[in-house]
Amino acid sequence: MSTGPVLLLDSASLYYRSFYALPDSMTAPDGRPHQALRGFLSMVDALHHTYSPSGLVACWDTNWRPQWRVELMPSYKTHRVLETTDQGDWIEDEPDTLGAQVEALAELLDACGVARIGRADYEADDVAASLANQIHEPVIVVSGDRDLVQVVNDASHTQLLLAINGGMQKWPLLNEQGVIGRYGIHPSQYVDFAIMRGDPSDGIPGVPGIGEKTSAAMINAFGDLGGVLQAAQLEPVKPMTPRFAALLLNHEAALHVAKKVATAVSDLDIEIDPGLPTKPTDVARRDDLVAAWGIERHVPQWM
């Protein structure tokens, strides 16, 4: 039995990455593109080979735009909304050929016995943060989303494998010191840093005129958002200036809301065995999916 870390996959981040990184000329026997499926499975197999994990969980976006986050911040992920249904649900703007692959991937993971966990009204980030908080062994969260820097914690042996820029061999594996070296702030300060800088990918506007370097300098000088806002109310001390103070105080209410939206929920009650599957839960369904999608050579043997 492996004594490696438990891998927590930000599944949507990885299948989107595969979809856009690989050509749609990769197809199933019926001609449907299968690059997201193929790429995701190949990534998971490479992760297994590299880290010899003791467990693996596919954290799932059951709700990619939770209502409670939208109520706090209507701009949250607005640019990703394709349309709204008669029931008021949002439909994510995704490529036509991706949806069927995502459904097949979910079915395949379930049939293979791989733990796949989502929670109603929460995102995969919340699931990953909650599992990292409750699994009492080393954890590596795998995501292309910088938001999950916030879960890095040396005390709980939680690292982030940041799936950006090229192949897996180039992905940085971040502990606390790695985050400090990369962003200039501690992981526990990341949310405050990010909401001042803003995050267009999530529709979080930030404070106009305050970019990444200024945000990091403010956090380092004053500790956290509360310290920064307190400093803005006093006689300016570098790096605070009268201009920055005015900007921050004008956006104080929005910053407090953004912090609630951007902070991953880490206390969801999730009971799960994160261990690797010992056998498929539905061999017939697995075999049907593998044949239909033409991915016989891409499903890892350990699945």
Query: What residue type is 299 in one-letter code?
Result: V
> Distances in Å between the alpha carbon of 276 and those of 22, 153, 252?
27, 24, 46
What is the per-residue pLDDT for 299?
96
Residue 120 tokens read as: 């109603």
Q: Average pLDDT of each block of 10 consecutive residues along the chain (303 residues)?
A: 89 96 96 97 97 97 90 83 52 76 98 96 96 95 96 97 90 98 97 95 92 96 98 95 97 97 96 91 97 97 92
Contact 122, 265 (CB under 8 A): yes
What is the per-residue pLDDT for 82?
47
Helix (H, G, I), strand (E, B) or coil at 155: coil
Q: What does the angle CA 278 – CA 129 – CA 10 come to, to the nearest 5 degrees?
A: 60
Contact 212, 197 (CB under 8 A): yes
Task: Report DSSP state, residue 272.
Answer: -
What is the per-residue pLDDT for 84?
53
d(CA 75, CA 201): 11
Contact 162, 143 (CB under 8 A): yes
d(CA 117, CA 88): 24
Partner residues linked to 6 by β-bridges: 55, 139
Contact 209, 243 (CB under 8 A): yes
Q: Could you give all domains of the chain from N- to C-terminal order, each with its CATH number?
A: 6-184+264-293 (3.40.50.1010), 189-262 (1.10.150.20)
d(CA 203, CA 195): 10
Q: How many CB atoms lie within 10 A of CB 117?
A: 21
Round to the nearest angstrom and report the end-to-end CA distance of the chain. 15
Tokens 């293979």 label which residue? 112
